[in-house]
Structure 1
Amino acid sequence: MRRPTPARRGLAATALALALGLTLAACSGSSDDDPSASPTPSATSAEDTADQAAVDGITVEGDAGAAPTVTLPSTPFNVSSVIVKVVEPGTGDTIEDGQQLAIKSVIISGADGSVATSTYTGEPDKVLLTSDLGDLHKKLVGQKVGARFVVTQPPQSATDPTYVRVAEIVSAETLPTRATGTAVKPPAGLPTVALDAEGVPTITAATGAAPTTLVAQPLITGTGDPVTAEQTLTVNYDLALWDGTKVTSTWEDGKPAQFPLSSVIPGWQEGLVGKPVGSQVLLVVPPAKGYGAKASDTIPANSTLVYVVDILAAE
């Protein structure tokens, strides 16, 4: 599916990279010295078995809600694949597919067992639990809030260590699937939007020339806090070209998209800042605020883009 990001990265994978420091779904991008970069591909079966045994030797101690003490079986500690292991069950509510998880964690350097970074002193990270997260999704669905788990990140270069992240699920929230609030009648001349009983939009093209400036027209005004530029959004959206040609829809995927607002095309950044969470917004994005003079997947060069965006959450 084509996302509104300028880079070719799966948005759920991007959210995971931000929230956990690891990307378990396929995506581009890496760094030679950044523990939040994408890991190398999975190892062979024999290597994976050895890596699993190495992870089994990690001990995690400490009270729930507090930063754990993590002891590696030896240093330097190395694995060649991404391993996910639940090390302590939770006692809270059962975690369900599609929920937004709040997670606190520590990253341990395999070089010497030291703490590279920790989120226990700040706000928890948020990640949407969808199948895009691969093995992490499989391991966490059905667990309970409070569960602790380990995720390994293999070295990104010959000089990098393995990183081990030990994370705790502090809450699990079921997000709305559609905008709710006060309907707004848009002005004439814009594409029209019809909603079915589930809130799934259908975009009908407007007549006439496409606007040359960004249009950010509320269709439903939500009751949440206004979106800010530094937040990560969870949205459902539909995308069509100005002539009505359908491009993509998260509704058809059956799962929302989640991404930092700062990572997407300018039309989204400028058009969604200030809109209340819970809103539905019609964005008409001219080429200069979209993908410009270069084609992008099925989007031709110099396209005016029409989005219907339901803002489900902003963190």
Structure 2
Amino acid sequence: MRPRFSAAALAASLALTLAACSSDDSTESPSASASASEAAPTEAPTEAPEVVESDEGMPTLGEGDDDNPVLEFPDGDAPSGLQISVIEEGKGEEITPDSLVVADYVGQVWGNDEPFDSSFVNGSPLQIPLSQLVTGWGYTLSGHHVGGKYIISLPADYGYGPTGGNDSAGIGADDTIAFYVEIEDGWSSASTGEADAKVVTPAEDLPVAIEGEPGEPVTSVSVNEGESEPKELGATVIAEGTGDKVPGDGSTVFINYAATSWDGELSENSWTGEPEELAGAQPVVIGSGTVFDELKDVPVGSRVLLIIPESDGGEENVSSPAMAAVVDVLGFGEAAS
């Protein structure tokens, strides 16, 4: 197996990493990761199942004693398969299986009045790739759009059945679970910065060659022949977007990126899915000691080049090569108060 410089290697050496921090970020909302959305790899069905789009037999939206959304269940059994009820279709970007979504939600075991989890209560919306959630989320929401409001019903095979339930959330291995979901934002492997972002560093002034103009996915990045390896971390804005500036410590930034080691032996690309588990936009947290801290104060919509020096290993004695990464800043979420 070819070595990669994503998660463990760089985090353990420089605490500078291109993808490890995104795996850490998925736990930013403790409640969400513990119940609504935690999805370690399971043996759920791998072929895309049929999803019924219908209000028939589905819960309706109500309000709890605290005025937060809750689901009210009809008499009768839960749907036997995956089902989605469209409360309001979104008009934003189409959701795909590799999308990263920002969403508020409430989750309940079918027939139970009390939620097992609610971001409306805990104030922590999901900020996570659909691939890291129980599989029913991706199947039911794919093809719908950012800005939409949906009720989804997930039978056990597409919820917590493959992991034997979730005791801490009161979910049994055979339970159907249902969610009311408001998709606030989302990005996929096709998402990029602004096509008309102002170029501030011309291509000829960069130490790398980039396949893909601003506003297009980067299909490859390579270090120009004769370029010396960097001795210190650096960030260069290639094209400056017009969005809000990325705030400081604790904020979550949503990015797509393409990276290469200086010698060209190693590469990663969230646009092309290299490797497959990194396909699609990724969340990274500012102030967590990674190279992505360099994105602070960069406007959303920008394209940035990160230059990372070689490390001979830190306390974990893991070395990492010199690297270059082209990053598109897609959006951000404010730090939790």
Q: Give the TM-score, by structure 1 length.
A: 0.64
1:168 to 181, 206, 213: 181
1:137 equivalent in structure 2: 138
* 1:96 partner letter: E
* 2:120 partner letter: Y
Spell out the pairing of 1:17-166 with structure 2 (5 A cutoff).
18=29, 21=32, 34-35=34-35, 37-38=38-39, 41-42=42-43, 61-62=61-62, 67-69=69-71, 85-86=82-83, 88-93=85-90, 96-98=94-96, 101-108=101-108, 114-121=114-121, 122=123, 124-128=125-129, 134-143=135-144, 145-150=148-153, 152-153=159-160, 161-162=170-171, 164=177, 166=179
Q: State how far apart, in whole Å, the 1-side matches of 2:81 and 2:184 are.
A: 19
1:239 equivalent in structure 2: 259
Cα offset, 1:19, TM superposition: 9.9
Question: Matched residues, percent identical?
Answer: 18
1:312 equivalent in structure 2: 330
Q: State how far apart, in whole Å, the 1-side matches of 2:322 and 2:272 are.
A: 22
Secondary structure, counterpart of 1:179 in structure 2: coil
Secondary structure, counterpart of 1:252 in structure 2: coil
Q: State how far apart, in whole Å, the 2-side matches of 1:139 and 1:85 are.
A: 7
Q: Verify the 8 A CA contact 1:191 1:204 in the aligned structure 2.
A: yes
Q: Verify the 8 A CA contact 1:236 1:256 in the aligned structure 2.
A: yes
1:266 to 290, 294, 314: 290
Secondary structure, counterpart of 1:253 in structure 2: coil
For residues 257-286 of structure 1, the C-alpha deviation after alignment (integer angstroms, 9 at most, x for no partner) is: 2223259762222x2122111111111112
2:246 aligned with 1:217: no
- Unaligned runs of at least 5 residues, structure 1: 23-33, 45-55, 74-82, 296-300
Relative contact order, higher structure (CA 8 A, sep 6+): 2
Cα offset, 1:307, TM superposition: 0.6
* 2:304 partner letter: V
Q: State how far apart, in whole Å, the 1-side matches of 2:253 and 2:5 are.
A: 13
For residues 49-76 of structure 1, the C-alpha deviation after alignment (integer angstroms, 9 at most, x for no partner) is: xxxxxxx99955427x950145699xxx
* 2:259 partner letter: L
* 1:224 partner letter: G
Q: Verify the 8 A CA contact 1:191 1:205 in the aligned structure 2.
A: yes
Q: Verify the 8 A CA contact 2:253 2:285 in the aligned structure 1.
A: yes
Question: Structure 1's 106 and 277: CA in aligned 2 closer, same or farther, altered over 3 A?
Answer: same
Q: Verify the 8 A CA contact 1:103 1:167 in the aligned structure 2.
A: no
- Unaligned runs of at least 5 residues, structure 2: 12-18, 46-55
For residues 241-267 of structure 1, the C-alpha deviation after alignment (integer angstroms, 9 at most, x for no partner) is: 122335121232295322232597622
Q: State how far apart, in whole Å, the 2-side matches of 1:290 and 1:224 are.
A: 37
2:300 aligned with 1:277: yes
For residues 135-181 of structure 1, the C-alpha deviation after alignment (integer angstroms, 9 at most, x for no partner) is: 42222224572221245446677777328562323456667733331
How many residue pairs are counted as aligned between the two chains? 278
Instruction: Give the aligned CA root-mean-square deviation in angstroms.
Output: 4.9
* 1:89 partner letter: V
Question: Structure 1's 245 and 106: CA in aligned 2 closer, same or farther, altered over 3 A?
Answer: same
Question: Structure 1's 168 and 157: CA in aligned 2 closer, same or farther, altered over 3 A?
Answer: closer
